[in-house]
Copies of this chain bind each other. A is one copy, B any other.
Amino acid sequence: MSISLDGFVAGPDQSEDAPLGLGGQRVHTWHMGEPQNEVDERVRDELLIDRGAYIMGRNMFGPVRGEWDRDWRGWWGEEPPYHAPVFVLTHHPHDPIEMKGGTTFHFVTDGFDAALAQARAAGDGDVAIAGGASTARQALAAGAVDELFLDIAPVLLGRGERLFDGVADPGLEPLEVLHSPLATHVRYRVGGTAAAPSGAS
């Protein structure tokens, strides 16, 4: 998850035209467009490899007002970068959408736990939370997170959606830190303690 230094994943006034809210795109500069440096490029490339399946929130998949637009196929064009099954949390049933390159969007209407079970059954590798913040919070609340990757952008948004609002401390230990002028990338083990030996997968 990309967050501002003051803890926001998106600015205020999120809308269909501005899904990241006012100023929110500044939190994501490090991975948007052409890579500006080797560190950000490496982190971006590693985000999307070797995942067995993904879980994604409804808003991340697309703009939804009531029913799905039946022609909507996500933000990512015909070949999304996931190359694995993606389980989209939604209240609105939808047939699976098979894209090029191995990505198939599945729509799950019975909650996070069900999506997690389906994602685990679907793939051989790790299950990754693609986003957004609400889905990440549900995953943390469910105790389903082994590692948390934060990309802390050196910006203050002041208002918006906070990643950790209402999240109980899951026990975090920094395992690896990389940094560029655009972000400080920290990989945390969840459920560890600082005194425990390193044993993250």
> Does A173 reach chain B (CB closer than 8 Å)?
yes
Chain B proximity of A4: nearest CB distance (Å): 9
**In this complex, which of A155, A170, A173, A184 has the most chain B Cβ atoms within 10 angstroms of its Cβ?**
A184
Question: Of B5, B169, B184, which is within 8 A of A155 by CB?
Answer: B169
Report if A181-B194 is in contact (Cβ < 8 Å); known contacts: A6-B7, A6-B164, A7-B7. yes
Q: Which of A159-175 contact B (CB under 8 A)?
A: 162-164, 166-170, 172-174
Counted per complex, copies of this chain come to: 2
Closest to A178 in B: B177
Name the residue on B nearest A154 (C-beta).
B172
Q: A189 → chain B, closest Cβ, in Å?
A: 9
Interface residues on A, range: 20 to 34
* A154-B174, A172-B155 known; A184 vs B181 contact (CB < 8 Å): no
Assess A168 versus B154: contact at CB under 8 Å? Given A184-B174, A184-B177, A184-B186. Answer: no
Which of B152, B167, B182, B186 lies in contact with A194, CB distance below 8 A? B182
10 smallest beta-carbon distances between A and B, as pairs:
A154-B172, A181-B194, A156-B169, A6-B164, A177-B179, A7-B7, A174-B179, A156-B164, A173-B181, A154-B174
A residues apposed to B, CB below 8 Å? 5-7, 29, 36, 150, 152, 154-158, 162-164, 166-170, 172-174, 177, 179-184, 186, 188, 194
